[in-house]
Amino acid sequence: MELTFASYNIHKGVGLDRRRDPERILSVLHEIDADIIALQEADRRIGERASVVPRAEIDDTPWRLVEVAKRPRSIGWHGNALLVRREMDVVAGDPLDLPTLEPRGAACGELRVEGRPLRVIGTHLDLSGLRRRDQIRSLLGFVADCAGDLPTVIMGDFNQWGLRTGAMREFSDGWQIVTPGRSYPSRQPVASLDRIVASRHWRCISAEVHHTGLSSVASDHLPVTAQLKLLTD
């Protein structure tokens, strides 16, 4: 089984033209056409943490939400949201808290795809770098404590400039760090902040930064994708 995973920091729907345009974000997602998508900065950070992409508009797409929100107008947890193909079975959705000086978290979904169980986590790590290592340890601890050795993909905006330095060194023991390329800032990307990390159950077939005329203005980040093949035991 091969699946396309995507991670996209949508900057609360605000593009480089300073317009909040959720339809433009959805158009980029249609360009990507991934099977499983992790969004960052999908909710506003004040008030009711309302989603910047209305649920009604998501209902008209090929994807549905993994429900992790604790507020009725939100679609995620601390801005992290997961979208999956409608034909996929969502077994569970969990909001995860991460150790930090500012609100940070992750969205976890347990899925069943073509009869195979798997886990996907979308996250957005600390900008300052003071707690990124602790946050990755927390995510890995959560995975280790879960029942079953499920194929797992952790993806998001890791806010880590070095390819395999700093906090990314916490990924060992079979974890594969897929760095599709430079994704920030979207107009002229110089930093590879957005990553897809796969457990030993997967093999990466291809990975890329989705850089088009639309994606270069829709957010301050470019989306990244990886095609992963689930290995047989």
pLDDT of 79-130, one tens digit each? 999 999 999 999 999 999 998 777 789 999 999 999 999 999 999 999 887 8
How much is the pLDDT for 103?
A: 76
CA 4 to chain centre: 12
Confidence check: pLDDT of 47 > 70: no
How much is the pLDDT for 138?
A: 95
How much is the pLDDT for 164?
A: 65
Q: What is the mean pLDDT of residues 220-225?
A: 99
Six token digits for residue 42: 């999908």
How much is the pLDDT for 233?
A: 62
Given pLDDT bands bounded at 50, 70 and 90, which one contains residue 162?
confident
**Which superfamily does CATH assign the domain made up of 2-230 to?**
Endonuclease/exonuclease/phosphatase (3.60.10.10)
Confidence check: pLDDT of 1 > 90: yes
**Assessment of whether the complete model's pTM goes beyond 0.85:** yes
Q: What is the mean pLDDT of residues 21-45?
A: 96
Indicate the pairing of strand 152-157 with strand 36-40.
unpaired
Q: What percent of the chain shows pLDDT beyond 90? A: 82
